[in-house]
Structure 1
């Protein structure tokens, strides 16, 4: 058996990864995992195309064409839920391609990737629900131990309780109900499955959105506000957003000798002694940012208003087109990107890191906000599902 393609793949893969790590170490945001994954995908594309062509096949052009569709949609507008759907379909398309590739080439690489995918899928199917419940309760305990006991910090606990109640209903109560009522309530698992699919797509696109690497040629950097401590002090969460903006600002001066304006966006809450934008600007000045490079937007109360009011300020200072990015916490930047698009801004976000224990709760909160943003669509789909099962229940009642 000829192992030359696999040997060449290993050489290019390992060599490229080592070169990528060395290259990214010199950058302010190394993100070596992302760039190593990109290089690995490029190597696999050439490997699979090469061995298939040697066997007289050209089926690899189909997943490549679909990859092109996904990339076109993603780079056209990164902040779209459609990108999550397209990416997950791409994964399935590639999975089917691996099956085809194994059948005609007997590639050990394709067989290994396919085997790994099947093992992961089996693990999810066998242990997924139980593992999810254990994880949610464990994470809820950590969050409640380290954060305030607000409703926003109890989302993982509430989800765990809901899934537990559903499990009890499914195993102990459903069999004792009348058949017509059971059939109506059978819509619930389908709705749950629908919202689970929506969450999966949201999570996929949110993770993809983390890999933004804006060029150091920006005119403006918008920092999205958050609440102040004691009404006048920048909180640790907000400080991380500002620090990310300052880091990019300093990097751009270093590599491009261009000063971006940092626009601090945040109004004054009822319990705050001064606008968030002003407190943020004071923090940035204390960190060494020149006052001439700071702008303040002090009227906004929501993320959408952050974007709308910031755009008005930038439009007054400089006619379009200007280059702009925004910073927030990593779990928030995808939804903020949607609002930027709604406000007419062609801007992508870079995220500040969040404590790992808080991410599940934070992403659940963002997911709920995304569902609320498109509530009409979800209401129609859930209404159709319920109508179908009510119809089936009525038919079953009369036929019975």
Structure 2
């Protein structure tokens, strides 16, 4: 019973603090209750575990906290590096290892509950992960095909589901009936799949972390990134959400600080478009009540990198003394857009517009493939080395 008294007190204080955090954020222009609730949970849990350890004569929690400090330093030093996803995921492993130690020393019910929950999720995914993933991918593919046009980017979840199905059928029904040298030839496939799965997990993690940007209300420019048009002259719902996010920040900043920002619409004219994306975006912003004098156009770019480069040139020309800028795009796209901003030498964080949930799996897979292509040589080397070992092993078995 003694072990439960600190746990009960912690739970009580945690929920009191959580209510205060939610009340505090309710009156803010950008409440983001989830982000600040997670911050409070991390701080309160860290203090609780530290007190428990001090009571038992140790302070090993300083190891995961020190590593978390390093992870956060790396992240805020440059938010657009893929290594940040790996570092955060490795922190989760370090913290999980620490929980095992804490439970063994303190027998605390809070730490024990966290550990059991983490192990349950891990085991659940280990035993049912691939089947659950396949079911989800087929379901998502059916929804996307029903609601969106049939194009290769919209078929990514279906293609992945089919690939996983083929691999599963091969592993369960075919592999055991093949000669050993043939199965050895394909033995590198699981390693390659694991490599790309870990790479995707790191990408997804850093993409989610990047969603929690909170730029201050002191921006001189808000860049809205363009996308394709309907009938060559009207913004799509997806593009409208990007512009709405920019307009929302523009209005919140004006209301809070009285500082006027310029909306910089960035997008050129495609071969199948009647007007530039920037002009269509301006027309939409005007229809939403934005004064024409607060809208600038960048209408020469053909891709995201050029969006950043050409927008930077306009801002530097207008504000040679320096400026503050952010950009808006859809939430699945802002991390890669941030990478292009860094490549263009533009110091700007991204704000993500919400995207329909059913569309996110395809969208993130498309972003992942695009980022893989940015580092294709590195991935090609890894795949080649794995396959070389498999081929060599297969040859040896064939002649033995």
Q: Which TM-score band applies after superposition, normalised by the shorter structure?
A: over 0.9
Corresponding residue of 1:383: 384
Structure 1 Cα separation of the partners of residues 188 and 289 of structure 2: 58
Q: How does 1:263-278 map to 2 (within 5 A)?
A: 263-278=264-279
The answer for the alignment partner of 2:67 in structure 1 is 66
- The DSSP-based 3-state class of the residue aligned with 1:288 is coil
Residue 78 of structure 1: aligned partner: 79
2:4–2:109: 8 Å Cα contact kept in structure 1? no
Q: Is the 8 A contact 2:74 2:84 kept in 1?
A: yes
Partner of 1:162: 163
Could you say which residue in structure 2 is the equivalent of 1:199? 200
Q: How does 1:249-288 map to 2 (within 5 A)?
A: 249-288=250-289
Displacement of 1:139 after TM fit?
0.6
Instruction: Determine the structure 1 residue equivalent to 2:96.
Output: 95
Secondary structure at 1:325 match in 2: strand
Which deviates more, 21-30 or 47-56? Answer: 21-30
Report the alpha carbon displacement of residue 8 of structure 1 after superposing the two structures with TM. Answer: 3.6
TM-score between the two structures when normalised by the length of structure 1: 0.97
Deviation, 1:2, is 5.1
Corresponding residue SS for 1:328: strand
Q: Which residue of the partner structure matches residue 335 of structure 1?
A: 336
- Residue 223 in structure 1 maps to residue 231 in structure 2: no
Gaps of 5+ in 2: none
1:29 maps to which residue?
Answer: 30
Q: Report what 1:181 is aligned to.
A: 182
Indicate conservation of the 8 Å contact 2:266/2:297, yes or no. Answer: yes
Deviations 1:67-124 (A, max 9, x none): 0110001111111111100010000000000000111111111000001111111111
Aligned counterparts of 1:160 and 1:396: Cα–Cα separation in 2: 32
Taking the TM superposition and a 5 Å limit, the aligned residue runs for 1:138-149 are 138-149=139-150
**SS of equivalent residue, structure 1 residue 160:** helix
Alignment of 1:278-357 (within 5 A): 278-319=279-320, 321-357=322-358
Q: Cα RMSD over matched residues?
A: 1.2
Work out the CA distance in 2 between the residues paired with 1:28 and 1:241: 19
Instruction: Identify the range of structure 1 (26-35 vs 188-197) with the bigger mean alpha-carbon deviation.
Output: 26-35
Normalization by structure 2: what TM-score?
Answer: 0.97
Distance in 1, matches of 2:108 and 2:390, equals 46
Distance in 1 (CA, whole Å) between partners of 2:121 and 2:321 is: 48
1:13 alignment partner in structure 2: 14
Q: Is the 8 A contact 2:242 2:353 kept in 1?
A: yes
Deviates more, 1:231-240 or 1:316-325: 316-325
Residues 173, 320 of structure 1: CA spacing in aligned structure 2 closer, same or farther, 3 A cutoff?
A: farther
Structure 1 residue 31: Cα displacement: 1.7
- The secondary structure found in structure 1 opposite 2:301 is coil
Deviation at 1:222, TM superposition (A): 0.6
Q: CA deviation at 1:250?
A: 0.5
**CA–CA distance in structure 2, aligned partners of residues 235 and 260 of structure 1:** 24
Judging changes above 3 Å, is the alpha-carbon distance between structure 1 residues 341 and 59 closer, same or farther for their aligned structure 2 residues?
A: same
| Ranges in structure 1 where 5+ consecutive residues have no aligned partner | none
2:181 counterpart SS class: helix
Q: Distance in 2 between matches of 1:23 and 1:266?
A: 39
Q: Residue 20 of structure 1: CA displacement?
A: 1.5
Equivalent residues, number: 399
What is the rounded CA distance, in whole Å, between the counterparts of 2:206 and 2:78 in structure 1? 12
CA contact (8 A) 2:316 2:322 kept: no
Please report how far the alpha carbon of residue 397 of structure 1 lies from its aligned counterpart in structure 2 after TM superposition.
Answer: 2.7
Distance 1:348 1:212 in 2: 7
